[in-house]
Amino acid sequence: MRTHISRLWHDYTSSYGNSDTIGASATSGHCVPSNTNCTSQEIAWDDTANHLQTLLWIYDLYGIRPNVFAMHTYANSGVEFTNADARLDSLGASTQPIIIGETFFNDAGVRDQLESAMHARSRSILFLTQWPAGADDLTQEVDSRFTPPIAFFNYHYNDGSGYIF
């Protein structure tokens, strides 16, 4: 995987630069909608941070980093965001925002965790995209004809003042 991402990063940034890319997204790789045999006890909360560190190592081989990072998060999103943010800070990537590239559909619990983590840290989340399944729908097959989710009402600030992203 490292060889593949390294080659893609080199080829893409050599031709187009880094202004329109996130590089590759990072995920814990355990509890995601495609893995229905997971529990919260099985998740290594620092996996996303470890993946980001590996990606930064690859980017640094070529002397160019993305201007924004992406992560996918499902279970315990606040802890994953906080760990990823701390790792990025420790590696000199303290100013780039994060995109949540994938998470549960319209989930108030994820919202609460991410909102709290954003307020506790200085890194912003540019936007969030939702997987067309909720935390209680992990065994459901996602229909390839599913239209993009448009309900985001659970991703607003708890005080109703607007969306957190």
Q: What pLDDT shows up at residue 138? A: 56
Six token digits for residue 52: 């980001």
Q: What pLDDT shows up at residue 151? A: 54
Q: Say if residues 70 and 104 touch (Cβ distance below 8 Å).
A: no
Q: What pLDDT shows up at residue 141? A: 56
Q: C-alpha distances in angstroms, 59 versus 47, 81, 89, 106?
A: 18, 21, 16, 33
Distance of alpha carbon 48 from alpha carbon 84, whole angstroms: 6
β-pair type (98-102, 26-27)? unpaired
Q: What pLDDT shows up at residue 46? A: 53
Q: What pLDDT shows up at residue 61? A: 92
Taking the domains of the chain in order of start, what are their residue ranges? 2-36+43-155
Q: What pLDDT shows up at residue 26? A: 82
| Tens-level pLDDT at each residue, the chain (165 residues) | 678 888 999 999 999 999 998 888 887 654 443 444 444 444 444 588 888 888 899 999 999 999 999 999 887 899 999 999 999 999 999 999 999 988 887 788 888 999 899 889 888 888 888 877 666 665 555 544 445 545 555 666 666 566 565
